Amino acid sequence: MKLYISTLGEFDIKSDGQSILRDSSRMYRIYKLFEFFLTFRNKKLLPETIIDNLLSDSESDDPKNMLRTQIFRLRKIINSLIPEGELPESYLNLNFTNGYYCLEIGENTIVDIDVFESLIQKGDKEREYNINSAIDNYQNAISLYKGLYLSDNAYEVWLVPTRNYYQRLFLKTLYKFIELLKKNEENERIVSLCEETLLIEPFEESIHEALIHAWVMQGSFQKALEHYEYVNKLLYQELGVKPSNRLRSIYRDIIKTVSHVETDMDIIKEDLRETILASNSFYCEYEVFKNIYRLEARSAARTGRSAFLALLTVSTQDQQIPDQKLLNLGMESLLNTICESLRRNDVVSRFSATQYVVMLMSLTYESGQTVLNRIITKFRKNYPHIPLLIHSNLQPLDPLTLDPSSDSGKLQDP
């Protein structure tokens, strides 16, 4: 019989495919102690090192005695996992020698990270002369990665270096795997691989790039465009960042490639009509907002029509950036309030993680301030449970100006 220990994702120990861990809240500290030994397996550990990492917040007057008690309980659990009559050295052996603790892993215990690294090494050796074999090894390695190393202990500092190592190794292997699949023109396989991986690493932009590229290679331009819009929204809402220049470049290439998307003008007009009716104001990504701004600046220079640029910023009561959960809720609620408060010819975009930029058309400065005050008042009224402050700033639109150094008198963008 062999023991199989899973660490890439949730921690588990299995025998014959069945978990043999006891599910009990009382076992939490003991399992965490085992995870610590497992992370530093086959290494000598001083009791003080273990205490500093695991028991530093303990109120015990005698942490060493507390550690000895926990290790005694851990040994009992380990012994219960070993088949009767078998030697601990063949499975798991937690010993204490010359003042050091050490967890030794025997030949009948398999740890997923060891298999993970072994498969990657085989793939690396074969990728130059046997692509298909390398693909199989990379595929098997990738399938072992179910999430961050020991993901059930999300906030343990001692886990960070090991967790980052395996995450980087996983992503590095994933990209090598994708490159081999590209050589074999296995785009359908790349799509499946990326979709599965994004469930684990949803914010890894390079995976989104590979997925969009695979759809383009399959001719699925609509799926590629829809996924770009999804990524754009995801990055803004969750991280407050814009897509990379590389991803935006891919998007522009798709637009150039798709020369024929829809010939039925009635369908196009209906789609545009629904978009307009979706909200009072026009919401768009910042790249589009900049183009609209420049067009309006040109128009202002020609017609003298007034327009104002407003910036709305959220913060906590003590003027700090909110935590991610509160920020997401606040920004979504503020956007709803903005769109409900503006006219259809006003334009809104998210400028940063905590800011929306708004272009107000055909207003005076006083009426623009009234609009911003109305937005802030309505936000407080509709969302009194959200403890955020809204700060506003209003400035007139800079009209397009003439470049005096140009002989031709070319107009310059602001």
pLDDT at 399: 56
Region of 393 (left: φ > 0; alpha: ψ -120 to 50; beta: rest) is beta
Cβ distance 77 to 88 under 8 Å?
no
Determine the pLDDT at residue 269: 53
List the pLDDT tens digit at each of the 414 positions of the chain.
899 999 999 899 998 888 888 766 678 889 999 999 999 999 999 999 999 999 877 777 788 899 999 999 999 999 888 888 888 889 999 999 999 999 999 999 999 999 999 999 999 999 989 999 999 999 999 999 999 999 988 788 999 999 999 999 999 999 999 999 999 999 999 999 999 999 999 999 999 999 999 999 998 888 998 898 888 888 877 777 778 888 888 887 777 666 444 434 444 455 455 444 445 678 888 888 888 888 888 877 777 777 889 999 999 888 888 888 888 899 999 999 998 888 878 899 988 888 999 998 877 888 889 999 999 999 999 999 999 999 999 988 765 543 444 443 443 444
CATH 1.10.10.10 spans which residues of the chain? Answer: 1-184
| DSSP code at position 186 | -
For the residues of 135-156, what is the DSSP string, one character each? HHHHHHHHHH--SSBTTTSTT-
pLDDT of residue 201: 93
Give the CA count within 13 Å in the CB-facing half-sphere of 277. Answer: 6
| Domain 1-184 is found in CATH 1.10.10.10 | yes
Give the Cα separation of 91 and 194 in Å (integer).
36
Topology of domain 282-402 in CATH is: Alpha-Beta Plaits (3.30.70)
| 196's tokens | 């599965």
- CATH 1.25.40.10 location in the chain: 185-253
Q: Can you tell me the distance from the alpha carbon of 231 to that of 244, in angstroms, rounded to the nearest whole number?
A: 11
φ, ψ at 175 (rounded to 5°):
-70, -35
Q: List every span in the chain annotated with CATH 3.30.70.270.
A: 282-402
Architecture of domain 185-253: Alpha Horseshoe (1.25)
Helices (H), 82-218: 112-126, 131-144, 160-183, 187-198, 205-218
Per the DSSP assignment, residues forming a β-bridge with 45 are 101
CA atoms of 207 and 266, how far apart (whole Å): 36
